[in-house]
Amino acid sequence: MSMLAYIARSHSSIQFLPNVVWDGYFRQNWYTVIVENYAYVYMVQCADGTFYTGYAADVEQRLRAHNSGKGAKYTRGRLPVKLVYVERAANRSEALRRESAIKKLRRREKETLCGRGGITPGGATPWTPA
């Protein structure tokens, strides 16, 4: 397996687009690398009704980790958890800032935030940092 194929298989957020370049003598294969570097802020509701907020690059994988008992220590004793809110951030730093802001909200404000939607990462509620 080529190194590009290995990287493409191990990193789902990286895409390699082949470009053929002719330098006059040889046909060369070059690759344009597209890296989606998004991070997501998510909120899950635990079995006891409490909310847990975190960030992840892959929300579905993180949700599976929570429900298998290998996620955060907080959620281990409160299984199963249910995804109630997801928001896409431009990068990890922005996601961490937004996670901190959500954690500071009161319960009623978190419920309002969940009621606004944004369940799927592609259609998440936009957020602009203050």
Q: What is the pTM of this model?
A: 0.64
Q: What is the pLDDT of residue 90?
A: 85
Structural domain boundaries, residue 51: 39-123
Does residue 64 sit within a domain? yes
Residue environment code for 70-104, b if the CB has 16+ CB neighbours within 10 A, otherwise e: ebeeebeebeebebbbbbbbeeeebbebbbeebee
Same domain, 46 and 88: yes
The pLDDT tens digits of the residues spanning 87-127 come to: 988 888 999 999 999 999 999 999 888 886 544 444 444 44
- Rounded to an integer, what distance in angstroms lies between the CA atom of residue 30 and that of residue 17? 8
Does residue 50 sit within a domain? yes
Does residue 67 sit within a domain? yes
DSSP secondary structure letter of residue 12 = T
Enter the tokens of residue 116: 């606004």
